[in-house]
Structure formats: C-alpha cells, structure tokens
Amino acid sequence: MSKAATPTETAQGYSPPTVTQVSVFLDNRVGKLHDLVEAFADSPDCYICALSVHEAADHAVVRLITDNIAAAKDLLHDRKLAFCTMDVLVVEFSKGHTLSGMCLSLLGAELNIQFAYPLMIRPNGAPTIALAVDDKYLAGQILRRKEFRLLGEADIMDAH
C-alpha cells in the first residue's frame, strides 16, 4: 500500500496532489481506439489506469491516466498522435466518503465539475475517480477538510 502524496504549500496556501491526464485526439474511425489501446498494451513501460472516450462526428478525444506519464508521452510522440496534458484530482471513496458527499462538498463551494471518470485500478482497494474542476486548489482544500483522500502520481505508479 502506498502512502498518499504530500500536499505542498503555494502562494494560494495548499496545492493538492494531482495526476497528469493525457487527452489524445483521434480520427473517429473504426479501429483507432483499438490501435491506441494496443500501443499501450505492447509497451512494457506504461499501463493505462483510466480511460474515457468522448466522440464527435469526425474526431474523438480519449482521456487517459497511466502509471508512467513520461513513457505515455514518448509513446504518443513516437506514433505522431496529437495530445495535450492537464492535471486532475483523483479522489478515493471509502466508508463515509461517497460520490454524493464529494459532489455536495463541491456544490457548497459553487465549484463546477467539468468532467469525471472512474479509474480501472484501486490503489488502496477503494473506488477512485478522476475529477476536473474549475479550481483544483480550492477543491483540494475542501475535500481535504472533509477528509477525502486525494491520490497523486506516486500512488498511481505504485498501484500497478
């Protein structure tokens, strides 16, 4: 079992642990998602821990969290795939710390959840969710006060 990443102090007071998400842009054609997933499956250095697909008529955006962001970026560069990264919060749910409670806590601070999706791994045996919000610093402070566990890169790397 890994220890949670230690929050750091910033000018805003608290910097929550975050995980880097990769958004990959694909043509919306049969087999493109399979090709992407196979590329990661064939890589000994990088494992997909979470995946979310958002499609439009001509393209798809695949959001990924991996256990090795540097290797993921290298893999995507090697395959000449367009991508961008952003930091997201990863929240663990345990007894008394539910999805409903998390939403209510963020609602109380008038924070908007931009998107959320579950992780396929459970670093500590509990369900986890990736979460993008309007203000990750404020969200981190609120969730920390409510005793939710936030996971960082090290937690994800140690889980696989």
Q: How confident is the model at residue 6 (pLDDT cuts 50, 70, 90)?
A: very low
Q: How confident is the model at residue 159 (pLDDT cuts 50, 70, 90)?
A: low
As a whole number, the mean pLDDT across the chain is: 89
Percentage of the chain lying above the pLDDT 70 cut = 91
pLDDT at 4 over 60: no
> What are the boundaries of each domain within the chain?
20-85, 87-159
Q: How many CA atoms lie within 13 A of 39 on its CB side?
A: 20
Return the pLDDT at 5: 45
Summarize pLDDT for 136-147 with one digit per residue, the tens. 999 999 999 999
C-alpha 42: how far from chain center: 22
Decide if 122 contacts 155 (C-beta within 8 A): no
Summarize pLDDT for 110-156 with one digit per residue, the tens. 999 999 999 998 878 899 999 999 999 999 999 999 999 999 998 88
Domains 20-85 and 87-159 share a fold: yes
pTM strictly above 0.95:
no
The mean pLDDT of 58-79, rounded to a whole number, is: 95
Q: Does domain 87-159 have CATH number 3.30.1340.10?
A: no
Nearest to 148 by CA among 100, 92, 99, 95: 92
HEC sequence for 13-56: CCECCCEEEEEEEEECCCCHHHHHHHHHHCCCCCCEEEEEEEEC
Q: How confident is the model at residue 29 (pLDDT cuts 50, 70, 90)?
A: confident
CATH classification (class only), 20-85 = alpha beta
CA dist., res. 79 & res. 53, Å (int): 19
DSSP state of 68: -
